[in-house]
Amino acid sequence: MSARFRALVVALLLLSAAVFPQEVGPADAAVGEAPKAVVFIVPRPQGGEGDAPFMRVLAAALQIGLAGHGLEARMPEALSLPVLAVAPLGRLLEEAAGADFLILEGYTSTGQTIRMEVEVLRVRDGERLAAASTSRRIDLRLDEAVDAVVEQLLPQLELHLAEAASERRQAAAAAAAALAAQAGSPQEEGTDASGGSPQPESLPAEPPAVGPESPPEGRPDHRLEAGAGGATFFPMAELDPLFRFGYLAELYLEYRLRTAAAALAFGLYTGYAGLLPAEPGTASYFGSLVPVGLSLRLGTPERSKLGVHLRVQAGAALNLSPQDKVVQRLTRVLPQAKAGAGLSLALTPRLGLSLDFLYELLLYMYMQDGALAVEPIMGFNVPSLFVYMRW
């Protein structure tokens, strides 16, 4: 370790020892203090300086920064830091039991700079909620790098921190109510107060168990998602003599199944679509369509705000356009299929945006010389933008 590193370690150790306790447990909370969200910090060197004192310094600096924003921050004992630094995620989540969030403080240090890559996971299900990174020169102002990471993380965690604090307040209130009920219901004696005959003895009722706070239930794996949006339709080049542009408004309702490997959703879609003819009167019998069908979507696990998915839709479009001037008799139902990929951006845990790029195929059918003729209408929905709500 260089002389600059040694000076840094000593300075920060003295600062953390004077300002903040190194291990914070539940007993450190003041009596009557409102419950706070609890985080458990584990430093994880990814390159460069990796000894226990340096890891302890970084964890203590982050601990101080989070405590300054009203969180209860805990960290492992010094002897366990080297072991936890290389432990698998499952072991770390076990170590963080009793906390609401696990913070993995990854860092890579060189002789002059340090890069921090911090991510936050929910302890009860391991879901990744937030991430932040920064790079700074190594000097006695290293706490500025930690402050920069904290400032990036807090907006991402605002709703989750409020939810965790609310759950802890409810659990504390329930425990207090149970203790009050127990204190107000003493056991009766074997004989009544008037000196009558003894009452039949019965086993004393067990007092309500007041133990460690049970972890809050995780979010359900199955959810409903409803979305509304619109898209443009650009036909293939060979359709240009008939159609040059189209538009679409769509609604969908899907049932979501979340697993550790992927997110699957399936449901129904409908909407309104129109194809604009290249010239007045040309193909005007396709001016108004109502699509209805089934939707299937397969996406990446929902551990961050940004996700990627594949979408497939299949059904039929009902043609509502006037057809009194059509020479050949047309069917009113056009088979329809769509397929493509997209991105989703979660604005909140229940509200977000989806941007899709889809290939669309419609088959229009008509009678020609007594036989059924089928011709395709092909194009691209680029882009398809949706706003979704989950519950």
- pTM, two decimals, is 0.45
Q: CB of 69 within 8 A of CB of 98?
A: no
Same domain, 255 and 124: no
Is there a single domain that holds both residue 234 and residue 368? yes
Please say if the pLDDT value at position 193 is more than 80: no
Looking at per-residue pLDDT, the higher value among 118 and 276 belongs to 118
Return the DSSP state at 210. Answer: -
Domain membership of residue 207 (yes or no) is no
Considering Cα of 275, then 279, then 280, then 284, what sign does the dihedral take?
Answer: negative
- One domain for residues 13 and 160: yes
Residue that terminates a domain, selected from 120, 144, 164: 164
Query: Does residue 127 sit in the same domain as residue 245?
Result: no
Domain presence at residue 189: no
Mean pLDDT for the stretch of residues 203-225: 51
CA neighbor of 105 nearest in space, from 67, 150, 141 = 150
Residue 133: which CATH number? Answer: 3.40.50.10610
Say which CATH number the domain at 329 has: 2.40.160.20
Q: What percent of the chain has pLDDT over 90?
A: 28
Give the residue carrying structure tokens 């397969």: 298
Pair (106, 226) in one structural domain: no
* Average pLDDT score over residue span 362-388: 86
Tell me the residue ranges of DSSP E strands in 21-163: 38-47, 72-74, 101-109, 113-122, 128-137
Distance, in Å, from the CA atom of 86 to the CA atom of 106, rounded to the nearest integer, reads 11
Whether 371 maps to a domain, the answer reads yes
Q: Is the pLDDT of residue 281 over 90?
A: no
Give the model's confidence band at 7: pLDDT under 50 very low, under 70 low, under 90 confident, else very high: very low
In the predicted structure, residue 85 carries a pLDDT above the cut 70: yes
Better pLDDT: 20 or 256: 256
pLDDT band at 276 (very low <50, low <70, confident <90, very high): confident
pLDDT grade for 282, boundaries at 50, 70 and 90 = low
Give the end of a domain, one of 139, 164, 189: 164
Same domain for 157 and 18: yes
pLDDT at 195 over 90: no
Q: Is the pLDDT of residue 369 over 60?
A: yes
Q: Are residues 141 and 287 in the same domain?
A: no
Whether the per-residue pLDDT at 13 is higher than 50: the answer is no
What's residue 34's pLDDT?
66
Same domain for 229 and 141, yes or no, is no
Q: In a 10 Å sphere around its CB, with 0-12 CB exposed, 13-18 middle and 19+ buried, how is residue 37 labelled?
A: buried
- Which residue is listed with tokens 């007041």? 210
160 and 229 assigned to the same domain: no
User: pLDDT of 299-338, one tens digit each?
Assistant: 988 777 899 999 999 999 998 877 666 656 667 888 999 9
**Structure confidence at residue 77 (pLDDT):** 86
Q: For 103-142, what is each residue's pLDDT tens digit?
A: 999 888 877 788 889 999 999 888 999 999 988 887 666 7
Three-state SS for 326? coil
Give the chain's domain count.
Answer: 2
Mean per-residue pLDDT over the chain, rounded:
79
| Domain termination site, one of 117, 141, 164 | 164
Please check whether residues 249 and 106 belong to one and the same domain: no
Number of neighbouring beta carbons within 10 Å of residue 164: 24
Predicted confidence at residue 329, as pLDDT, reads 60
Least confident of 27-36, 306-315, 382-391: 27-36
Task: Give the mean model confidence (pLDDT) for residues 7-12.
Answer: 47
Residue 361 has pLDDT above 70, yes or no: yes
289 in any annotated domain? yes
By three-state DSSP, how is residue 327 classified? coil
**In the predicted structure, residue 91 carries a pLDDT above the cut 50:** yes
Within this chain, do residues 38 and 106 fall inside the same structural domain, yes or no?
yes
172: pLDDT strictly greater than 90: no
Q: In this model, does residue 212 exceed pLDDT 70?
A: no
Task: Give the domain extent around 34.
Answer: 3-164
The pLDDT of residue 209: 45
Q: Does residue 19 surpass a pLDDT of 50?
A: no
- Average pLDDT (56-72) is 86
Instruction: Kindly state whether residue 254 falls inside one of the protein's structural domains.
Output: yes
Q: Are residues 233 and 151 in the same domain?
A: no
Q: Residue 213: pLDDT above 50?
A: no
229: in domain: yes
On whether residue 188 sits in a domain, the answer given is no
pLDDT digits (tens, 9 = 90+) for 223-259: 899 999 999 988 886 665 666 788 899 999 999 987 7
For residue 333, tell me if it sits in a domain.
yes
The structure tokens listed for 354 are: 């989806």
Report which secondary-structure segment, H or E, holds 64.
helix 52-67
